[in-house]
Chains A and B, each alone.
Chain A
């Protein structure tokens, strides 16, 4: 009976989703790409935006949201995240770990997905850490909280690969006790920026040889010959995809010299850098970054935390923008990703960006960098219904996120969250009481001393009220990822 009921519910829910339309009316609509519409409305049908403007009437059965006095922006996009990665973010064993893939370790129960949603984030570029010159394969996700890992993946988004330059990838060349647990760790090439530059060239030299072997093989097969196929190399395959433009390179970087060096290596080897990440000295080589066609995904105002950021300046984003680079602001943090809109406002103080330019840095520009700007990043007809409703202008530090939709489905609602808290608190208390009761029962059974005297609780083992993901306090461990 119960099963039938829940199946029915599911069917109803699916039906609703199929033909669902939502009209958000009378809000200040910040389209990002086509200006601001006062008292504007946005209609989403079947997950896609079908109308944006002043006078839009609700189709029959549409959910109507009154946006009077409120602000609507596209869903925010973070081009550098480690959220939803199960366990550590670094596979630190080799200088090139291109065979590993974030897709394989996505954790849909990471509570930070929900927390980010509550701050208006809808899309994240999930990357490995920066321990290797060439790190693992990356994946773009939509923050569809409550869905399975495979349903988080952004359909059709080009996957990427993480590169890293500078202090982090060369650290294993001269490991300090902090990162090796006090034991003498094995040294690993490279230990200098010279070596990092070379490592990437060495890897792509191999990848090109590998690519040529397969090309020859395929040609021979096409001619009807029967050659022995080359040995499959899971490390080199993703690099061949990079050479063929099927996989984006996201390169962790700080200093101008290493940024320029990687651009030249890429030119020489015949591939493109899609984005430079962090890129705190990008302003020094903005011209070269723009000429290469790479994007820059930077921090709004981080500085002072390590030597290679000695020339960081919060004017970085504005200078690069003026010099023609597509710039986004990223979080690299489970915390910062919760308010990227507030971070964007800093580019107005530091560099005099316009409100549209500032907002674009956390919406349309990261969408461009990830090659998904045909689907998300602005409020336009034909794009996904990824929308955020705020009580005030999102560039105000006093603003608060009220509702968030992804593909027209509501994934966050502050009012609902407040209501749910009461239930959650009651459920938590219930579980704690049960646990306490079981402990007390065990004590009674075993006499004074209870558990401490070796007695076992007799009742069924109660699950502690743990939340789904007792994960690590990631920020403290992210040092290596910065």
Chain B
């Protein structure tokens, strides 16, 4: 497939962006993309249109767009132009090989770690970055936790998640928005299965044990917020003996409603608990990876709480659930009027986020909504809709060129621009393909 890409001369230049970087930095992120079908997402499609990008930002969109002299022209004849896709929940950059702990920087020790910042350990050289990019994804939310209660000893606050652009020399350059939300695993009553208990070799836990843990964790969470409020008060009072504390400092934007809690809540009851908690604490929350909605969908709508959905392609929770109970979760949310986007909550399937949106569309979500759920909705939920998520004047030029709908697995991603700069779609996977295809 890559050989096809190289038949396109302007793209060859684009692929050599590393070399181009050493030339003129100013010209590097300006380009006129013409002869494409533009899918702006937030407005009607434009056939045979052009998009002008100057200094990394979109300045013109339309049928007749002229560029200043010296600006590179990319003729995308026959191709489609979409905004770059967003994976709104991943561990990209923080985990290389999930089963080898040395390569994983997730789930720090401790129950409350709001001060930990995902971006500072984001490895710009991770093999996953170009692999995920090759699927048309330009931005990921990187989470510091996994919500892993596998051993029943998971953290409650894992740290701050950051929105990362998948291009840049350092994590600083890659960070699109830092500290967008606190990664929280909301306490819930979850009986570990007999099989898992056997597998881990831990003593059997009764419902009473699990319920006690749940209540204890809820109390811990409330106490932590109370401590944070006392800290804020003490800081405001400015007494001579006030001592700064990084943990509580990280909680101040939460208490001020500037930083949302990214709340992992699987079941209806946990979602209700989380909404109640947010109400009581007067804080902003985003519900993450729900698996069962029930009456909570209406509750989320009522409180205007957005949702980051996990894999649509998941098994039903219970044996007697409908076979498509996870497939229809997104359309249920849509029907309830709740805003949502998609994440994969992992690394090795992070590139497939669009297929989860497509699967939802196969089960009653309108295709237009599916596309929004991996573009503009994610941008809106994380407060970056002024920068990314659609093709609009004034936004960063995060763009992908495709030979079809990017939510279809059969579609090829032909080129990508991040903040106006052409980005290579080569990866370890394409290099292995090139090398070994040539074995005689």
Report which A residues bind B (CB closer than 8 A): 111-112, 114-115, 118, 178, 180-183, 283-284, 287, 301-307, 310-315, 319, 322, 334-336, 338-339, 342-343, 345-346, 348-352, 358, 392, 395-400, 417, 421, 424, 428, 465-473, 475-477, 479
Is B410's CB under 8 angstroms from A313's CB?
no
B111 / chain A contacts, CB cutoff of 8 Å:
none
B314 / chain A contacts, CB cutoff of 8 Å:
335
Of A115, A396, A397, A428, which one neighbours B316 at CB under 8 angstroms?
Answer: A115
- Asked if B123 is at the interface of the complex by the 8 Å CB criterion, the answer is no
The complex places the Cα of A115 from the Cα of B324 at a distance, in Å, of 8
Is B348's CB under 8 angstroms from A302's CB?
yes
Nearest residue (CB) in B for A314 is: B429
Q: Provided the pairs A313-B433, A400-B363, A428-B320 are in contact, do residues A395 and B410 lie with their beta carbons within 8 angstroms?
A: yes
Could you mark each residue 182-198 of chain B with 1 if its beta carbon is under 8 Å from any beta carbon of chain A, else 0? 00000000000111101
The complex places the Cα of A182 from the Cα of B361 at a distance, in Å, of 44
Q: List 30 A-B contacts (CB under 8 A).
A: A181-B199, A283-B432, A283-B437, A287-B439, A301-B351, A304-B127, A304-B348, A305-B98, A306-B97, A306-B100, A307-B99, A307-B100, A310-B97, A314-B429, A315-B1, A315-B432, A315-B433, A315-B437, A334-B315, A338-B323, A339-B359, A345-B409, A351-B1, A392-B362, A397-B358, A398-B362, A398-B408, A400-B362, A472-B194, A473-B195
Nearest residue (CB) in B for A119 is: B323
Is B407's CB under 8 angstroms from A397's CB?
yes
A471 / chain B contacts, CB cutoff of 8 Å:
319
- Asked if B12 is at the interface of the complex by the 8 Å CB criterion, the answer is no
- Asked if B430 is at the interface of the complex by the 8 Å CB criterion, the answer is yes
Nearest residue (CB) in A for B357 is: A397
- Asked if B295 is at the interface of the complex by the 8 Å CB criterion, the answer is no
- Asked if B244 is at the interface of the complex by the 8 Å CB criterion, the answer is no
Is B409's CB under 8 angstroms from A349's CB?
yes
A304 / chain B contacts, CB cutoff of 8 Å:
96-98, 127-128, 347-348
Is B408's CB under 8 angstroms from A345's CB?
yes
A interface SS class: loop
Q: Which 4 residue pairs are nearest across A and B when measured between Cβ atoms?
A: A181-B201, A472-B195, A467-B319, A397-B358
Is B433's CB under 8 angstroms from A351's CB?
yes
Is A397's CB under 8 angstroms from B319's CB?
no
Is A349's CB under 8 angstroms from B410's CB?
yes
The complex places the Cα of A417 from the Cα of B324 at a distance, in Å, of 10
Report which B residues bind A (CB closer than 8 A): 1, 4, 96-100, 127-128, 131, 150, 193-196, 198-202, 313-316, 318-320, 322-324, 347-348, 351-352, 355, 358-359, 361-363, 367, 407-413, 428-430, 432-433, 436-437, 439
Is A349's CB under 8 angstroms from B1's CB?
yes
Is B315's CB under 8 angstroms from A181's CB?
no
A312 / chain B contacts, CB cutoff of 8 Å:
429
Is B1's CB under 8 angstroms from A352's CB?
yes
Nearest residue (CB) in A for B351 is: A301
A302 / chain B contacts, CB cutoff of 8 Å:
348
Of A115, A301, A358, which one neighbours B315 at CB under 8 angstroms?
Answer: A115
The complex places the Cα of A471 from the Cα of B1 at a distance, in Å, of 43
B428 / chain A contacts, CB cutoff of 8 Å:
313
Nearest residue (CB) in B for A336 is: B313
**With A348-B412, A397-B359 given, can you name 10 additional A-B contacts, CB distance below 8 Å?**
A115-B316, A304-B97, A311-B432, A322-B437, A338-B323, A358-B410, A396-B408, A468-B319, A473-B193, A479-B99
A114 / chain B contacts, CB cutoff of 8 Å:
323
Q: Provided the pairs A335-B314, A468-B319 are in contact, do residues A477 and B98 lie with their beta carbons within 8 angstroms?
A: no
B337 to chain A, nearest CB (A): 23
B352 / chain A contacts, CB cutoff of 8 Å:
301
Among B131, B351, B429, the most chain A Cβ lie within 10 Å of the Cβ of B429
Is A283's CB under 8 angstroms from B436's CB?
yes
A357 to chain B, nearest CB (A): 12
A289 to chain B, nearest CB (A): 13
Is B195's CB under 8 angstroms from A111's CB?
no
B315 / chain A contacts, CB cutoff of 8 Å:
112, 115, 334-335, 473, 475
A65 to chain B, nearest CB (A): 21
The complex places the Cα of A238 from the Cα of B389 at a distance, in Å, of 58
A334 / chain B contacts, CB cutoff of 8 Å:
315
A400 / chain B contacts, CB cutoff of 8 Å:
362-363
Nearest residue (CB) in A for B324 is: A118
B432 / chain A contacts, CB cutoff of 8 Å:
283, 311, 313, 315
Q: Provided the pairs A305-B97, A307-B100, A349-B1 are in contact, do residues A397 and B362 lie with their beta carbons within 8 angstroms?
A: yes
Q: Provided the pairs A319-B436, A472-B193 are in contact, do residues A118 and B97 lie with their beta carbons within 8 angstroms?
A: no
Nearest residue (CB) in B for A353 is: B410
Nearest residue (CB) in B for A471 is: B319
B96 / chain A contacts, CB cutoff of 8 Å:
304
Is A284's CB under 8 angstroms from B201's CB?
no
Is B199's CB under 8 angstroms from A477's CB?
yes
Is B195's CB under 8 angstroms from A477's CB?
yes
Of B323, B362, B412, which one neighbours A115 at CB under 8 angstroms?
Answer: B323
Is B323's CB under 8 angstroms from A417's CB?
yes
The complex places the Cα of A348 from the Cα of B367 at a distance, in Å, of 21
Among B195, B322, B323, B432, the most chain A Cβ lie within 10 Å of the Cβ of B323
B347 / chain A contacts, CB cutoff of 8 Å:
304
